[in-house]
Structure 1
């Protein structure tokens, strides 16, 4: 897999907002295999966080990959994978971004969720515990009794932090986790609402450049090195009712993932569209990797880690919840 280059250049400012541009394509391609017999649904709503992880959705729209498949895809902002589950169950979303911890937790509770495409895998320094520059907290062990902000509780954030607490001789019970959306974390910590935060890009760069935050720990090391982070999910019922629509989505998103994995400039070009990250910031933030297909063995690592840390009561066979594209056999 191609590792996206990382830069640490200093910048003077960064503007991050929550607005999304729903730039869907329309029409049908005469040679689109997805349209043989017609798609069950030609316009779909897809949930995504306004962070670099989900960039392939916007690449696919901008490059016309969805349009080639006869699909119009409308991005919808979400705050996390956990909240996306009820949104796909209700039909508010057709497909959504999800982190794998949320997905496996939902499946363990009987939710009929299927993974339909991969999205993002961690690399060094793109999921960090951050603290203010003048914080007395110098090591992870110093977090004992402190409050740590995460975007969702009992999720990839708390699991990742807990693995680092373990290395420092602590447990999750030694700290307090509190929820706060990524864009609000920096100001909340600076304002004294918490002591630290589990922060991803572009907010790592934003808190460093605007608030003077520093990295306390990279949470994607040791047990979590190269951990699969996020993918695309749908309900089992939706995948069964819309097999041609799903296959069209899978083909388009896989092309976008391959482009993201091979050309960072494509990512940089799209980030300002849906996150309002300025072009300079887009060129320096630290990125993970963009797998083009789901790999059960790789994802099983996440489920096994969840079992170890008691996020699951029993093992999950990841293969059973993957819907492979037709071309994958």
Structure 2
């Protein structure tokens, strides 16, 4: 239709202006509403906008705290409530029971639980984001400087604390001890929370403790404890450590929520490569002093789930008896954005 000059044209022009004004003042309500988060508007609103996530007070989970601090979850339309857990093996039952929606956990615990069909009632376990990968100096077995232990071989007949059994700590401890000709049958492993290990070593309750950061640096600074063995070396050099998982039921019922979590975590993982950003957050969530935070050893924060790397963990578990049969990791993976 041709718009001619005169009153009809002015009327049409006024009507179009009113429509434009209505859309602008409503915050593009026709496209998702004024309160819609950018990610939710672009990808679909999360089915569950508030989720509980199991975390440990360790450097490995820094990317979650970064994503919270910088508003990456909020941009995706979800709110994250951190829940402190002792370890991945302890968190998985809470995940299956629905007390957690997502949990950080080591790959060993996830694979062991899936192999045992422990999460059958919740449609199994699914892995939705990578978290942390080993580098030298960030997985250590430590003890007192005057213990008489001078080499890994001196750990024969000793008691070593692990935060939980059937996890990445047990796997890497056994692999590196055996790699240093230590008779594993002579070693006693004792389960305890990582924050308690420094005091347990000082009291003589255990001879050594398997620690990650910031507990390594804190034990060295507070008590003068020394490393006996780097558990991220030799057969475990560069090994994937941990990531984030949920249940098959949650992933199926909340695909938009899972996707939103993955997008926020990708940004958090990228930012965690800046160690200064992580160090600043450790003071708050890991409760360490600023001097200790500046001295911690960092691993890597991968930005995608890589099947070949994760399968390496499964294969090592089979070698050291944490799995009774070969285990294929691929069916557990939920693809997401890549960095």
TM-score > 0.5 by shorter chain = yes
Residue of structure 1 equivalent to 2:168: 156
| 2:240 is equivalent to residue 228 of structure 1 | yes
The partner residue of 1:302 within 294, 297, 313 is: 313
Residue of structure 1 equivalent to 2:277: 266
SS of aligned partner of 1:135: coil
* 8 Å Cα contact 1:34/1:247 also seen in 2: no
Shift of 1:31: 3.0
Shift of 1:213: 0.6
Provide Cα deviations, 1:153-211, integer angstroms capped at 9, x if missing partner: 23211211111221232342110000111111011111010111111111111111111
| 2:252 is equivalent to residue 240 of structure 1 | yes
Higher relative contact order (CA 8 A, sep 6+): 1
* 8 Å Cα contact 1:162/1:171 also seen in 2: no
Provide Cα deviations, 1:271-299, integer angstroms capped at 9, x if missing partner: 11211122222111111110011111111
* 8 Å Cα contact 2:160/2:208 also seen in 1: yes
Q: State how 1:132-143 maps to structure 2 within 5 Å.
A: 132-143=144-155
Q: State the distance in 2 between where 1:47 and 1:174 align.
A: 34
Residue of structure 2 equivalent to 1:190: 202
| 2:209 is equivalent to residue 200 of structure 1 | no
Residue of structure 1 equivalent to 2:288: 277
SS of aligned partner of 1:206: helix
Worse-superposed segment, 273-282 or 200-209: 273-282
Q: State the distance in 1 between where 2:256 and 2:41 align.
A: 6
Residue of structure 1 equivalent to 2:15: none
The partner residue of 1:61 within 64, 68, 73 is: 68
Q: State the distance in 2 between where 1:287 and 1:161 align.
A: 19
TM-score scaled to structure 1, two decimals? 0.88
Residue of structure 1 equivalent to 2:83: 76
* 8 Å Cα contact 1:260/1:290 also seen in 2: yes
Shift of 1:66: 0.4
Residue of structure 1 equivalent to 2:55: 48
Larger Rg: 2
Q: State the distance in 2 between where 1:105 and 1:30 align.
A: 37
Structure 1 gaps of 5+ residues are 1-26
Q: State the distance in 1 between where 2:47 and 2:233 align.
A: 43
Structure 2 gaps of 5+ residues are 1-33
The partner residue of 1:116 within 128, 134, 137 is: 128
Q: State the distance in 2 between where 1:319 and 1:154 align.
A: 20
Residue of structure 2 equivalent to 1:216: 228
TM-score scaled to structure 2, two decimals? 0.86
| 2:188 is equivalent to residue 181 of structure 1 | no
Q: State the distance in 1 between where 2:86 and 2:71 align.
A: 26
Residue of structure 1 equivalent to 2:324: 313
SS of aligned partner of 1:45: strand
Provide Cα deviations, 1:210-259, integer angstroms capped at 9, x if missing partner: 11111111011111001100100000111000000000000001111011
The partner residue of 2:143 within 125, 131, 135 is: 131
Cα RMSD (Å): 1.4
